């Protein structure tokens, strides 16, 4: 099980939100996202998850300068998957040229499936699709709009397009430290052949152990955010435990 620390960037700072609320529930954990990236590398991370929160809201990259600095600092040793504001092929090409290993496409994949298909064709092996859901229905626009699209239906469709993996977030739990939605994550993983990365609500070592127990269903990794920054999970110990369970 690949445990992936998250660095969510808003206005150049490392923050965490609750349920995607950028306006009223923002906690700043660091003014230096580059130092934070180095920290996770030192703790033994094997991949980093970065989100340009301003970009997710505006639809265009906003924090690209600090993201470039992160990649320059750790990118040779630590693969980066990046989401937020990725809505056209030129942006993907620019980020991959900068050294990003995977781009994460969410809202644009749902609203413009043709764009996702083109992205998978042009940048095969580098595209992860994000499905953010509540009650089995997919949300878009920084989670502010709930659609009628079913998670598993879209998962199968995007797999056919050539997505490398699916990042699944239960937005009702994200940032709430309420525990990961194992059932919904497994349900999606059983309907697709590509790997699923779990996200949203992972709060304790118990959650990680539960995810490891269903890794064989196709759950490749998990995003860790608030639980790391608030000290509920020690990253190094958690990754060692996940490796032990996989062994």
pTM for this model (two decimals)? 0.92
Distance CA 112, CA 20 (A): 22
Whether 132 is catalytic is: yes
Partners of 128 in beta bridges: 104, 165
Which residues in the chain come in under a pLDDT of 50?
A: none
Alpha-carbon distance of 128 to 224, in angstroms, equals: 17
- DSSP for residue 126: S
Torsion of CA 19, 24, 30, 32, to 10 degrees: 100
Q: Which helix (H) or strand (E) holds 111?
A: helix 107-111
Pick the closest to residue 138 from 126, 127, 150 (CA basis): 150
Rounded Cα gap, residues 103 and 93, in angstroms:
10
Helix (H, G, I), strand (E, B) or coil at 236: helix
| Burial zone of 141 (CB within 10 Å; 0-12 exposed, 13-18 middle, 19+ buried) | middle
Distance CA 247, CA 49 (A): 25
Strand 137-140 to strand 127-134: parallel, antiparallel, or no bridges (unpaired)?
A: antiparallel
Which of 21, 97, 132, 170 is an active site residue?
A: 132
Q: What 3-state DSSP class applies to 186? A: helix
Q: Which long-range contacts (CB under 8 A, 24 or more apart) does 134-142 make?
A: 134/170, 134/171, 134/172, 135/172, 136/184, 138/110, 139/171, 140/106, 140/107, 140/110, 140/111, 141/57, 141/107, 142/20, 142/22, 142/53, 142/56, 142/57, 142/107
Instruction: Write down the pLDDT at residue 141.
Output: 73
Say which of 8, 52, 174, 207 is annotated catalytic.
Answer: 8
Which pair of tokens denotes residue 156?
């199968």
Give the rounded distance of the alpha carbon of 126 from its chain centre: 14
pLDDT at residue 23, rounded to an integer: 56
Alpha-carbon dihedral angle through residues 107, 216, 172, 101, given to the nearest 10 degrees: -40
pLDDT of residue 44: 97
């Amino acid at each position: 099980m690949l445990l992936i620390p998250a660095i969510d960037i808003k206005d150049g700072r490392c923050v965490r939100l609750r349920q995607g609320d950028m306006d009223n529930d923002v906690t700043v954990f660091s003014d230096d996202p580059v130092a934070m990236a180095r920290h996770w590398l030192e703790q033994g991370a094997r991949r980093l998850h970065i989100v340009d929160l301003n970009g997710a809201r505006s639809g265009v990259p906003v924090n690209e300068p600090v993201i470039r600095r992160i990649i320059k600092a750790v990118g040779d040793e630590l693969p980066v998957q990046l989401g937020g504001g990725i809505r056209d092929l030129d942006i993907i090409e620019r980020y991959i040229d900068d050294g990003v290993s995977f781009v994460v496409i969410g809202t644009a994949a749902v609203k413009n499936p043709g764009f996702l298909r083109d992205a998978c064709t042009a940048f095969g092996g580098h595209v992860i699709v994000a499905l953010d859901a509540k009650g089995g229905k997919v949300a878009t626009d920084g989670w502010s709009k709930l659609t009628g699209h079913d998670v598993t239906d879209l998962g199968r469709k995007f797999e056919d397009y050539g997505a490398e993996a699916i990042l699944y977030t239960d937005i009702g739990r994200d940032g709430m430290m309420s525990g990961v939605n194992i059932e919904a994550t497994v349900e999606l993983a059983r309907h697709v052949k590509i790997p699923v990365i779990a996200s949203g609500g992972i709060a304790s070592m118990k959650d990680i152990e539960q995810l490891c127990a269903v890794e064989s269903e196709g759950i490749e990794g998990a995003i860790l955010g608030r639980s790391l920054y608030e000290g509920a999970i020690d990253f190094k110990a958690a990754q060692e435990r996940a490796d032990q369970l996989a062994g």
